Structures are given as structure tokens and as C-alpha cells.
């Protein structure tokens, strides 16, 4: 792998492929342009109204950029054109806790879009309300994306400008939207990024771990066996690992990571940009023990694990044994030894002998 790695588990995490979307639309936008889809399609969710607290800059992501439409009378039939935002899908990052992190361009895009495509109308409705932005909300969440994506694509093909947001952070990063983006690109619809907050990137930027190569793996499976399998897969990756986890499952994740990855550096970034923002740093085994002895932490968490040490000698023997046992529970001994060899840098033959000492039999190798 070269350069920074960003491996999204977005489809799996968001369930977008099988997902359920409720698209609900306003009959008209505030300029009176028709936004209604074909009759019989879902009804209006609602709008965020009143309470303007932040003033948006002039509409359009960048004055003078190609996002702005020329003032052509031919385009003025759409509310989008009147507001100066070119047709297309705008992927807009929103705050992960601190409203002040919302950029001027994001505000302008939300204000100028024909509609805002969101995960949860209550969450995004509140955000827009705080901003004093009044746009129709189209609810696109995990359960019916496949069914409703075509409607959004049709709207886009007809020239609409849609802003895609998630509840917080950057859409499509462990959030819905990847398949919508892909389908829009495949259909030749312009897709533009309006970048901003992203919890995994924010955590990485302050963790003090190597950032030249990192691998974002999102949430690992909640079930122990599947989680351990994924950790064993990640073990050989020579990059900082960036994971998401909930407070109640943090101790189990750290314990498994310590057993399978060995004594690496770990950073726990909690409640970033919020009142109780906290960064805890340590070695995996040590921090796993501390967290296990405490009540589960509250709030939102990113876990970052440093890359494996360069020298195999630094992988503790007990960690090697734990990795061998875990691998041997699901693989024949030869393959288990080779997998742990890749993770630790130790010779496969030595690990195979050790597996036999640990009571795992011969196989066909
Ligand atoms: N797309 C989002 C982004 O770009 O930040 C991530 C969505 S993912 C479903 C949500 C997870 O991100 C949370 O469960 C938590 O693990 C992490 N997260 C979100 N906000 C956070 C924050 N303020 N501090 C730490 N972690 C956060």
C-alpha cells in the first residue's frame, strides 16, 4: 500500500446497500419552484425554519468557481439557478460537535441547494434551524436507499442541486451516501465535495501517531470472534489503524487488540470538539487494563493504534502466543503460522513449532 490508506467500511457500516430511505419532499421550494416528485411519491418531511443565527455568505461554493451558474435566463426556471448553485450532488460535511466548525461554503451550499438529503430529519432539521436555513429535507437513511436512490438520481438528472449531509461529519465515511455518489458519477452528474469535519481525520490529526500511512477500518464487528478475525487481518498492516467504537464496547476492543496486535501505541480520542474532549495515550495492554477497570466511557470515540514495531523482537511472546491461538482456532496450523508470521515478522517455521508446543496438531502445510 502506498501513501495514506483510507479503507471505508461505509457500505457495511451504513447498510446502504440494503438500506431504507424515506424520501420526503416539499411541494415547492421557497422561491416557488416545483420540487415535487411524481405523484404518489413520499410526502414532505418538513423544513427547518426561523431562528437565523449565522449569516451565510453569498450562495455558491466559491464565487467565480465553476459551481456558479452564469446568469442565464434559460436556467432561471429552477430555484437552484436563481440562488446561483450549479446542478449536481454536493457532499457537505457538518460539525461533529462544535457548530463553529461549519464552514462558510457549507452554509452557502445548504442554503442554496434545492433540497438537503439527510440521514435523520430531526438532526439535520435542528442544524438548519440553528443556521436559519429553510430548505426541504429528503430523508435518505439505511433502510431503503436502494429503492429510493433512483428518485434522487432523477432529480439530479433534471438539474437539481442536492446537498448530501449525514448526522455529523463527512457523509459516506461510515455513513450513508457512497452508492448515491457512485451512481451519480456513473450517470455523469457532477459531484462536488464541500469538505469539513470528519471524526477519524480529526482524531488522527491530534493523536501523535504516524500519519503518512493510515488505514480507516470503521467499526469492527461487535461479536468477539468476528472482531478478532478482523484484528488478525489488520495485524500485518504497516500503518496507523483508525477505528470507531462505542463506550460500552471499548474495553473488549482494546483487550482483543492487545492480545492480537501486541504492545503497540494506542490513542483514544473522545468527544472531539465538544466540552468533554479527551485524548488518552498509552500502550495497548496498559490502556486496555485501565479502561477495563473503569465504567464504560460516555460519548463518541475514535481509537487509533500505532503501526507494528519495526523489529519482530519487540512483539511480546505472550502476544505472539495469543495471536497463534486465535489464528489456530479458525485456520489449519500451517496457515495460522503463516498469518502470524506476516503480522509479527517472525519466521513461519518457528511459529509452526510453537503452535505444536501449544497443542495444535499437524496439517497438510
Ligand atoms: N461520517 C462521520 C465523520 O466523518 O465523522 C463518522 C460517522 S460514524 C457513524 C460516527 C462515529 O464517529 C461515532 O460513533 C464515533 O465513533 C465517531 N465520532 C463522531 N463524532 C465524534 C467526536 N466528536 N469525537 C470522537 N469520535 C466521534
The alpha carbon of 199 and the centre of ligand 1 are apart by a number of angstroms equal to 5
Q: Residues of the chain with pLDDT > 70: what percent?
A: 74
Rounded average pLDDT over 147-176: 96
For residue 58, pLDDT beyond 70: no
Rounded average pLDDT over 74-87: 60
For residue 28, pLDDT beyond 50: no
Q: Is 265 in the pocket of ligand 1 (CB under 6 A)?
A: no
Which residue would you say has higher pLDDT here, 76 or 287?
287
Superfamily of domain 10-197: Tetrapyrrole methylase, N-terminal domain (3.40.1010.10)
Q: Cell numbers of 72, please?
A: 442565464
**Spatial distance between the Cα atoms of 213 and 234, rounded to a whole number of angstroms:** 13
- Ligand 1 atom at minimum distance from 219 CA: 16
pLDDT of residue 169: 98
For residue 155, pLDDT beyond 70: yes
pLDDT of residue 218: 98
Identical topology for domains 10-197 and 200-308: no
The alpha carbon of 302 and the centre of ligand 1 are apart by a number of angstroms equal to 7
For residue 42, pLDDT beyond 50: no
Q: Taking the CA of residue 7 as centre, how many other CA atoms within 13 Å lie in the half-sphere pointing to its CB? A: 16
pLDDT of residue 310: 65
The alpha carbon of 265 and the centre of ligand 1 are apart by a number of angstroms equal to 21
- Ligand 1 atom at minimum distance from 277 CA: 24
- Ligand 1 atom at minimum distance from 244 CA: 16
pLDDT of residue 362: 66
Nearest-CA neighbor of 243 among 274, 272, 269? 269
For residue 43, pLDDT beyond 60: no
Taking every pair of Cα atoms in the chain, the longest distance, rounded to a whole number of angstroms, is 81
Beta strand 265-270 with 240-246 is unpaired
Buried b (16+ CB within 10 A) or exposed e, 167-200: bbbbbbbbbbbbbbbebbeeeebebbebebbbbb
pLDDT of residue 74: 32
Supply angle C-alpha 15, 19, 21, rounded to 5.
Answer: 135
Buried b (16+ CB within 10 A) or exposed e, 55-92: ebeebbbeeeeebbbeeeeeeeebbbbbbbbbbbbbbb
- pTM of the complete model: 0.74
The alpha carbon of 243 and the centre of ligand 1 are apart by a number of angstroms equal to 10
The alpha carbon of 173 and the centre of ligand 1 are apart by a number of angstroms equal to 9
Supply angle C-alpha 85, 68, 202, rounded to 5.
Answer: 75
Q: Cell numbers of 263, please?
A: 504492545
* Range with lowest mean pLDDT among 123-127, 143-147, 351-355: 143-147
For residue 302, pLDDT beyond 90: yes
CA torsion sign, 317 to 323 to 324 to 325? positive
For residue 21, pLDDT beyond 70: no
Rounded average pLDDT over 167-194: 97
* Range with lowest mean pLDDT among 9-13, 23-27, 130-134, 273-277: 23-27
CB 14 within 8 A of CB 175: yes
CB 121 within 8 A of CB 210: no
Over residues 233-267, the pLDDT tens digits come to: 999 899 999 999 999 999 999 999 999 999 899 99
Q: Is 166 in the pocket of ligand 1 (CB under 6 A)?
A: yes
Q: Is 249 in the pocket of ligand 1 (CB under 6 A)?
A: no
pLDDT of residue 52: 35
Buried b (16+ CB within 10 A) or exposed e, 241-262: bbbbbeeeebbbbbbbbbbbbb
pLDDT of residue 64: 38
The alpha carbon of 43 and the centre of ligand 1 are apart by a number of angstroms equal to 30
Rounded average pLDDT over 42-62: 39
* Range with lowest mean pLDDT among 79-83, 203-207, 338-342: 79-83
Nearest-CA neighbor of 324 among 302, 348, 340? 340
Nearest-CA neighbor of 86 among 107, 63, 57? 63
pLDDT of residue 12: 36
The alpha carbon of 176 and the centre of ligand 1 are apart by a number of angstroms equal to 13
- Ligand 1 atom at minimum distance from 168 CA: 2
**Spatial distance between the Cα atoms of 246 and 255, rounded to a whole number of angstroms:** 14
CB 158 within 8 A of CB 37: no
For residue 149, pLDDT beyond 70: yes
The structural domains of the chain, with segments of one domain joined by +, span 10-197, 200-308, 313-357
The alpha carbon of 219 and the centre of ligand 1 are apart by a number of angstroms equal to 10
Over residues 109-120, the pLDDT tens digits come to: 999 999 999 999
pLDDT of residue 338: 82
Q: Is 209 in the pocket of ligand 1 (CB under 6 A)?
A: no
pLDDT of residue 177: 96
- Ligand 1 atom at minimum distance from 170 CA: 4
The alpha carbon of 291 and the centre of ligand 1 are apart by a number of angstroms equal to 20
Question: What is the average pLDDT score of the chain?
Answer: 80
Q: Is 101 in the pocket of ligand 1 (CB under 6 A)?
A: no
Residue with cell 437539481: 160
Q: Is 260 in the pocket of ligand 1 (CB under 6 A)?
A: no
Over residues 312-364, the pLDDT tens digits come to: 445 778 888 888 898 898 888 988 888 887 777 788 888 899 999 998 876 54
Question: What CATH code would you report for 200-308?
Answer: 3.30.950.10
The alpha carbon of 30 and the centre of ligand 1 are apart by a number of angstroms equal to 33
Q: Is 176 in the pocket of ligand 1 (CB under 6 A)?
A: no
**Spatial distance between the Cα atoms of 72 and 54, rounded to a whole number of angstroms:** 30
* Pocket perturbation via mutation, ligand 1, pick of 14, 168, 296 by most ligand atoms within 8 A of CB: 168
For residue 128, pLDDT beyond 50: yes
Rounded average pLDDT over 57-71: 39
Residue 277 buriedness (CB in 10 A; 0-12 / 13-18 / 19+) = middle
Q: Is 273 in the pocket of ligand 1 (CB under 6 A)?
A: yes
pLDDT of residue 183: 97
Rounded average pLDDT over 48-56: 38
Q: Is 168 in the pocket of ligand 1 (CB under 6 A)?
A: yes
pLDDT of residue 31: 27
pLDDT of residue 66: 39
Amino acid at each position: 500500500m502506498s501513501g495514506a490508506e483510507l479503507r471505508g467500511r461505509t457500505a457495511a457500516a451504513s447498510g446502504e446497500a440494503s438500506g431504507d430511505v424515506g424520501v420526503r419532499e416539499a411541494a415547492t421550494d421557497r422561491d416557488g419552484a416545483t420540487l415535487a416528485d411524481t405523484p404518489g411519491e413520499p410526502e414532505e418531511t418538513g423544513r427547518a425554519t426561523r431562528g437565523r443565527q449565522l449569516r451565510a455568505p453569498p450562495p455558491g461554493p466559491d464565487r467565480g468557481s465553476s459551481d456558479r451558474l452564469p446568469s442565464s435566463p434559460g436556467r432561471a426556471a429552477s430555484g437552484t439557478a436563481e440562488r446561483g448553485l450549479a446542478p449536481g450532488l454536493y457532499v457537505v460535511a457538518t460539525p461533529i460537535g462544535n457548530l463553529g466548525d461549519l464552514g462558510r461554503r457549507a452554509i452557502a451550499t445548504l442554503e442554496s441547494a434545492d433540497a438537503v438529503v439527510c440521514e435523520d430529519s430531526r438532526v439535520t432539521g435542528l442544524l438548519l434551524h440553528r443556521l436559519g436555513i429553510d430548505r426541504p429535507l429528503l430523508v435518505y437513511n439505511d433502510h431503503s436507499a436502494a429503492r429510493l436512490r433512483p428518485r434522487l438520481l432523477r432529480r439530479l438528472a433534471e438539474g437539481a442541486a442536492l446537498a448530501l449531509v449525514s448526522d455529523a461529519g463527512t457523509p459516506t465515511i461510515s455513513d450513508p451516501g457512497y452508492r448515491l455518489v457512485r451512481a451519480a458519477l456513473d450517470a455523469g452528474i457532477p459531484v462536488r465535495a464541500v469538505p469539513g469535519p470528519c471524526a477519524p481525520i480529526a482524531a488522527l490529526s491530534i493523536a501523535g501517531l504516524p500519519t503518512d500511512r493510515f488505514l480507516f477500518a470503521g467499526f469492527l464487528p461487535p461479536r468477539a470472534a468476528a472482531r478478532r478475525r478482523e484484528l488478525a487481518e489488520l495485524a500485518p498492516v504497516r500503518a496507523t489503524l483508525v477505528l470507531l467504537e462505542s463506550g460500552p464496547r471499548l474495553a473488549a476492543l482494546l483487550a482483543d487488540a492487545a492480545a492480537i496486535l501486541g504492545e503497540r501505541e494506542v490513542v483514544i480520542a473522545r468527544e472531539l470538539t465538544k466540552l468533554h474532549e479527551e485524548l488518552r495515550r498509552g500502550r495497548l495492554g496498559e490502556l486496555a487494563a485501565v479502561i477495563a477497570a473503569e465504567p464504560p466511557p460516555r460519548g463518541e470515540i475514535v481509537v487509533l493504534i500505532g503501526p507494528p514495531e519495526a523489529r519482530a523482537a519487540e512483539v511480546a511472546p505472550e502476544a505472539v502466543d495469543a495471536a497463534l491461538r486465535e489464528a489456530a482456532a479458525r485456520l489449519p496450523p500451517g496457515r495460522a503460522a503463516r498469518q502470524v508470521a506476516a503480522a509479527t515478522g517472525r519466521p513461519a517455521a518457528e511459529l509452526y513449532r510453537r503452535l505444536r508446543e501449544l497443542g495444535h496438531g499437524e496439517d497438510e502445510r
